[in-house]
A and B are shown apart, each in its own frame.
Chain A
Amino acid sequence: MTDVERLFRTYNAALVRYLTRRLGDRDWAEEVAQETFVRALRQTSIQNERAWLFAVATNLVRDEARKDVRRRKHLALLAEQERESAVEPEETTLERAQEAAMARKAVDALAERDRLALLMREEGLDYNEIAEALELSPGSVGTTLSRARRRLVESYEALQKSREEREKNAAS
């Protein structure tokens, strides 16, 4: 197993999930993740793999970097293999679709740094990794995360409340 394959198998799922949550589009997320691993190939050494991958992926999204088509082919194959073994997500119900739409809105309402820190934390990155990926001081990650979580939950609950009121009005 090459080094990039190991990196891919170790981090792809989390990276794609992170990017999907960030972008709202799984295909786009997979593309960016693949591009991230392509970039990793060019590195001679990476100190903190996870922090580096998340940082590069985040920057790729930001910069809309060009893709290395040739190398991505191999990674796309790997991605396909992984997708086949992955459990299919549940059927989307109307309720779930509405929840997803509200979650999307609430996430988009966050400041970019808060959002990224939270999404990285959800993928298991520790405070140092988040700090490294986002070029923050490690001491500010706790504050960033606490703010991000509070705001996310509060705006989601606000959306939920207004939806319930809409439904109530519609019913009456």
Chain B
Amino acid sequence: MQHLDEGTIHSWLDGALNAEEAARVEAHVKECAQCQAAVAEARGFIAASSRILTALDNAPRGVIPAAVPKRRLDPMVWRIAASVLVVALGSVLVIRERGIGEKIYTTTESPDTVSASAPPVTVLSNQKPAAAPQSANAGSGKREAGSVGQNRSQAAAVATTPTRVAAPSPASVGGGNTAPRQDLNKAAAVPQVTAQNAPGRFEAAAAGRGSAVPSMDAMADEQPVRVVGRPRALGEKLTLYEVAPGDTVMLAEQVEMELQSVVVTGAGVSLQGATAAAAPEAKRAAKLAPTQDTQRSAQAQAPAPPAVSVSFAQTPDGTATLTWRDSASGKVMRLSGHHTRAELEEIRRRIERARTAAADSVKKDR
């Protein structure tokens, strides 16, 4: 018997042959390896074509639109999923970049790397808290990315500020690898201080355009504090200062509550006389009078500006907290650390003076 043709094999496998024909094919296949292979191949084709045709069974409905959406939504679901992924990735990148920015920032913290020993206070204000939930969306991501740049410029500007204590020797700031040197050189050798609640001013100062030294005599009396980092916290913005070598300070701005806090940690702050902060926006502060009243008793003992109420508290572990309302912005500030009350008051005055100086310098610059 000659070999089976493909049509016969399929007919046999489909059960389309009569009994006599089927028996003949079966007998041949038993003895013929070549036809056994052909039968195996035919079985494969039958199974595969059935499987392929099954894939057609979820065909879309084209005539009745109501029945269509479920299937037609599928590509959209993929697009949405993809865009969510992109946004999430973008947010992660922004957060990471921000994290790097802070690291860079904190490198200026080390006294060894900063020869310009008189950085002034620089307050980063009116910015969203780093860990705020809004950072998940692209818009705020951009905004925060922008603030990273600001911080870097600011770091450079801050580091170049000279002081009374140490002559303004050539600075190697931030290990040289982080703070942009261009900014470094451009920055005027004056206190680059920004007033809180004045982001526009801050930018001007950060760009190194500040020129006036309104409170140079005051600056000469003390070692100014400088910004060394901006740790992230939920619902508030923290700024870390160094008030003395190895003694860091942190500013926390509670955005939603319109509060601003300064946290001082460490010890060995050198405290020196200072001028009081000006109150250019006393009207705004006055609006918040109820809180001031509650703090007035504390203020009585303090050498702080008379326009501002102050309260003092200390926890069992020795952390002292000084709370007052900023005369310029009306925001409540909280300064805490392992210091005496007098020391905290002193630190507070230094910070406020630096802010005032920055504000004035920016004003003149305009």
Contact = CB atoms under 8 A, between A and B. Distances in A.
A41 to B, nearest CB: 22
A142 B50 CA distance: 16
Contact of B53 (A31, A119, A127): A119
A143 B11 CA distance: 8
A102 B55 CA distance: 9
Contacts of A141: 11, 16
Contacts of B71: 92
B57 A148 contact: no
Contacts of A102: 55
Contact of B57 (A21, A121, A140, A147): A21
Interface string B35-62: 0000000101110111011011111111
Given A127-B14, A141-B11, A145-B14, A103 B61 contact: no
Given A27-B64, A92-B74, A152-B52, A20 B57 contact: yes
Nearest to A103: B55
A153 to B, nearest CB: 4
A149 B10 contact: yes
Nearest to B62: A25
B6 A27 contact: no
A27 to B, nearest CB: 3
Interface residues of A, number: 45
Main secondary structure of the interface of B (DSSP, over half): helix
Contacts of A29: 59
B63 A25 contact: yes
B52 A153 contact: yes
A150 interface: yes
Interface in B261-315: none
B67 A27 contact: yes
Given A100-B55, A142-B16, A152 B10 contact: no
Contacts of B10: 142-143, 145-146, 149
A132 interface: no
A156 B336 CA distance: 73
Interface string A18-36: 0011011111110100000
Contact of B11 (A27, A31, A106, A142): A142
B16 A126 contact: yes
B56 A146 contact: no
Interface in A57-107: 89-92, 94, 96-97, 99-100, 102-104, 106-107
5 contacts: A89-B57, A100-B59, A107-B52, A147-B6, A153-B44
Interface of B: 5-11, 14-16, 42, 44-46, 48-50, 52-53, 55-64, 67, 71, 74, 78
Interface of A: 17, 20-21, 23-29, 31, 89-92, 94, 96-97, 99-100, 102-104, 106-107, 118-119, 121-122, 126-127, 140-150, 152-153, 156
